[in-house]
Amino acid sequence: MVNRWRGEVALVVDGQRHVARLTLGALAELEETLETGSLLSMVERFEGGAFTGRDVIALLGAGLRGGGARISDAALAGADIGGGPMAAARAAAELLARAFVVPE
């Protein structure tokens, strides 16, 4: 079960359900990987619809590792994501939103 209060998001990768979460370490990893300069610029890209596939993979990879999965971004890029690319993009955006917004 996903705990929204912890910022968790469910994601199915290669048929296996995972719980992704952007911990502080995962956010730091994400900043370094995407070379955004700040988390705000990354949030702005997602809000403006200007994100890339690389952004989605990096966000999901960091979130999966933050949730305890051992998966590289390269492996994730070649994986089958349940729901396809649109579900992957939605999960990435949800991860980012849950990292900074308290659930209602």
Structural domain count of the chain: 1
- Partners of 40 in beta bridges: none
* Domain with 75 in it: 4-100
- Res 103: pLDDT: 63
Catalogue the long-range contacts made by 70-73 (C-beta closer than 8 Å, 24 or more residues apart): 71/13, 73/33
Give the pLDDT confidence score for residue 88 in this predicted structure. Answer: 96
pLDDT at 104 over 70: no
- 52-93: pLDDT as tens digits: 898 899 999 999 999 999 999 999 999 999 999 999 999 999
Average pLDDT over the chain, rounded to an integer = 89
